[in-house]
Amino acid sequence: MKRQDDRTGAGPRVSGSVMAAAINAKDWTGHALGKIENWPLSLRTALGICLGFPAPSCIAWGGERSQIHNDAYAQVSLIHAEALGVDFARSWAPSWPAMSSCFERAARGEPAQLENQQVSFVGDDGSESRTVTFSFVPVPDESGGVGGVLIALLEPGSTQLRDELRRSKAALEQHGHVISHDFRAPLRMLEQMSKILVTDHAGQLPARAAGLLNHIGSGAAKLALRAEVLTRFDTLDQCPLQRQNVDVAAMTDKIIAELRAAAPERQIEVVVEALPEARADFELLRLVWRMHSSSPVTRRSHASK
């Protein structure tokens, strides 16, 4: 008998994939990822790409770096049957010191590569060592951040696989782009409609109803801003970092002024202590501050020593 998620199409399915069947058969109850039917769309999209990719590859998702991989990846000698769902760093413990910095770069949204790594593969004729390049590609999530990392093991000279990885990366970027644009307009409409209801019917609405509408409007505004940031990151990802001296205090004051002007009815106390200058990409730093400064609570900023 098929599992319920197989019948409904909720689980990740790829025809002819052994690992797709193993993923659907695994009991994810109690795991950090949770049940398959509750996995976010971004994870399912990336997993579909991973399972169909011809080179050994996996998804390391979330803060736990939960590992989900394709058939070719299962041929790596370090990977055993129980590797499904475990911490990616645990499976690659001997190599983790060398690859951790690349993984962290991808987790921050910047693709990275680790070249000339010796990896042992198990085949019909026994084990053989191959020289591979680890490619780390960030996977965007619905909130505008990075939900996980797609890792592919590419052998030198494999032009076809590199082209396939580029197509996979483009598909992930397009997924983030669609999420951003499809979410922004409805969220802005929800924000505006909740404001209109509170303003036009203030005398008729119970206090609790008005409070809930304000809460809905604030939540919609925050999500719309995250969608906007995701769109901007899609563009900035194509450009190299432009490091320069940034007056963080002046930039922060300008962002706060913009947020106050956008929502003059919100009375928020903002306390910003002394901030040092930074050597950074101005546009990226501004987007990060703007996204995290949009929360409807009082924030206190501290200078790094």
pLDDT computed for residue 166 by the predictor? 66
136 has pLDDT over 90: yes
pLDDT computed for residue 228 by the predictor? 63
Phi–psi pair at 97, nearest 5 degrees = -55, -35
Tens-place pLDDT, residues 193-222: 777 777 777 777 788 877 777 777 777 776
301 has pLDDT over 50: no
Residue type, 31: H
- pLDDT band of 58, cuts 50, 70, 90: very high
pLDDT computed for residue 101 by the predictor? 94
DSSP string, 199-233: HHTTTTS-HHHHHHHHHHHHHHHHHHHHHHHHHHH
**Structure tokens, 162:** 């590199």
pLDDT computed for residue 225 by the predictor? 66
Query: What would the mean pLDDT of 56-73 be, rounded to a whole number?
Result: 93
- pLDDT band of 292, cuts 50, 70, 90: low
Tens-place pLDDT, residues 253-266: 888 887 776 666 67
pLDDT computed for residue 295 by the predictor? 45
Q: Which residue has the higher pLDDT, 288 or 1?
A: 288
pLDDT computed for residue 304 by the predictor? 33
Least confident range of 16-25, 64-73, 197-206: 197-206
Taking only Cα atoms into account, the Rg of the chain, rounded to an integer number of angstroms, comes to: 23
Q: Which residue has the higher pLDDT, 209 or 154?
A: 154
Domain 4-154 CATH assignment equals 3.30.450.20: yes
Contact 121, 107 (CB under 8 A): no
Query: What would the mean pLDDT of 122-126 be, rounded to a whole number?
Result: 77
DSSP string, 240-291: ---EEEE-HHHHHHHHHHHHHHH-TT-----EE-----EEEEHHHHHHHHHH
Query: What would the mean pLDDT of 221-236 be, rounded to a whole number?
Result: 61
Q: Which residue has the higher pLDDT, 29 or 286?
A: 29
- Mean of the per-residue pLDDT values of the chain: 76
The domain segmentation of the chain, as residue ranges, is 4-154, 240-305
Query: What would the mean pLDDT of 99-119 be, rounded to a whole number?
Result: 91
Q: Which residue has the higher pLDDT, 221 or 18?
A: 18
Q: Dihedral (C-alpha) 277, 283, 287, 288: value to the nearest 10 degrees?
A: -40
- pLDDT band of 9, cuts 50, 70, 90: very low
pLDDT computed for residue 274 by the predictor? 84
Length of the chain: 305
pLDDT computed for residue 197 by the predictor? 76
**Structure tokens, 225:** 């801003």
Contact 277, 246 (CB under 8 A): yes
pLDDT computed for residue 143 by the predictor? 76
